[in-house]
């Protein structure tokens, strides 16, 4: 679908009458200094998810509206909106997800979220902290779906919630949904890790580039039927989505362990990381 004017997007509707772009939704402004300030905030506290959302808002992509139109107005998008209108409700129902066969993506997702003390509803709450106005349009649906699939990216890619893992997930995401926000956090975050762990032989920048390549080679997860993916074996889903094991990321963890660096606490480099940090 070719790019259109803002006014044209306001005249585009889904089959159920939902407008693609609500007339009152503010036009995104390119604010790189605000993005940098929030990146600095994020470097002080990688758990500050609200700063991540503000970075993305400050670096809008020119392809954002065309990308939404391509998916949301397609038959595939219409079906996703009909069957998966609100992903947090599906993703936080662990009792139902656990009824899928052992080895499924659903079991792996539940294991990850429970081990990390996370929930899809929690990510929604973090998003709300950014105080972004909401509108009943397809843009809102797309933004929500992008947010709600983030933790599933961790499970599918094998990247943990350490600093390099988070940077890698965002670069993987950029390969699927390009935005300068992903690039800023991903590559600047990797460079900051390289600077922090002085003298390390870990291929940090190589791992970041690998994540970017993997994301480009995989079909967009946002366009996949998440409910159906959850029922399938994890390795089967990874194979069908062309997501290989992140070799260089794992190599970084192996080297850091040998160097006495805990990837989950890069400033505390006196104690080796526990072996389970390298588990698949």
Tell me, yes or no, whether 279 lies in a domain: no
Please report the pLDDT score of residue 272 as a whole number.
41
The backbone torsions φ and ψ at residue 101, rounded to the nearest 5 degrees and listed phi first, read: -60, 150
Identify the CA nearest to 86 among candidates 235, 227, 256, 242: 227
What total number of domains does the chain contain?
A: 1
Tell me, yes or no, whether 254 lies in a domain: yes
Tell me, yes or no, whether 218 lies in a domain: yes
Tell me, yes or no, whether 117 lies in a domain: yes
List the structure tokens of 88.
């947090």
- CB neighbour list of residue 85: distance below 8 Å, 6 or more residues apart: none
List the structure tokens of 57.
């808002």
Instruction: State the Cα–Cα distance between residues 115 and 151, nearest whole angstrom.
Output: 12
Tell me, yes or no, whether 174 lies in a domain: yes
By three-state DSSP, how is residue 262 classified?
A: strand
Judge contact between 189 and 159, C-beta under 8 A: no
Give bridge partners of residue 265 from the DSSP assignment. 262
Please report the pLDDT score of residue 62 as a whole number.
84
Identify the CA nearest to 203 among candidates 273, 171, 269, 250: 250
Tell me, yes or no, whether 3 lies in a domain: no
Please report the pLDDT score of residue 90 as a whole number.
97
Structural domain containing residue 164: 13-264
Indicate the pTM of the whole model.
0.85
pLDDT, block means (10 residues), the chain with 280 residues: 82 96 90 85 76 79 91 96 95 98 98 97 87 91 94 96 94 89 88 92 97 96 96 98 97 96 77 38
Tell me, yes or no, whether 215 lies in a domain: yes
Please report the pLDDT score of residue 2 as a whole number.
57
């Amino acid at each position: 679908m070719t790019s259109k004017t803002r006014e044209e997007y306001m005249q585009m509707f889904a089959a159920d009458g939902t407008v693609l772009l609500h007339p009152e939704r503010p036009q995104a402004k390119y604010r790189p200094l605000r993005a940098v300030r929030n990146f600095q905030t994020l470097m002080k506290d990688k758990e500050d998810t609200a700063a991540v959302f503000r970075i993305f808002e400050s670096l809008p992509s020119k392809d954002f509206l065309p990308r939404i139109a391509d998916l949301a107005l397609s038959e595939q998008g219409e079906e996703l909106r009909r069957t998966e209108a609100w992903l947090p409700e599906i993703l936080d129902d662990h009792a139902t997800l656990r009824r899928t066969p052992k080895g499924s993506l659903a079991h792996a997702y539940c294991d990850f979220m429970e081990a990390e003390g996370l929930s899809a509803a929690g990510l929604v709450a973090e998003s709300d902290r950014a105080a972004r106005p909401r509108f009943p349009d397809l843009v809102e649906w797309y933004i929500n779906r992008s947010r709600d699939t983030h933790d599933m990216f961790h499970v599918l890619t094998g990247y943990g919630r350490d600093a390099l893992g988070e940077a890698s997930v965002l670069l993987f995401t950029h390969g699927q949904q390009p935005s300068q926000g992903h690039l800023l956090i991903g590559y600047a975050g990797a460079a900051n890790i390289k600077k922090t762990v002085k003298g390390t032989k870990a291929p940090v920048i190589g791992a970041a580039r690998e994540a970017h390549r993997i994301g480009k080679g995989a079909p967009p997860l946002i366009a996949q039927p998440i409910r159906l993916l959850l029922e399938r074996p994890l390795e089967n889903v990874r194979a069908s989505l062309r997501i290989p094991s992140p070799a260089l990321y794992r190599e970084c963890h192996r080297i850091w362990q040998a160097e006495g660096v805990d990837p989950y606490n890069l400033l505390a480099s006196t104690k080796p990381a526990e072996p389970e940090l390298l588990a698949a």
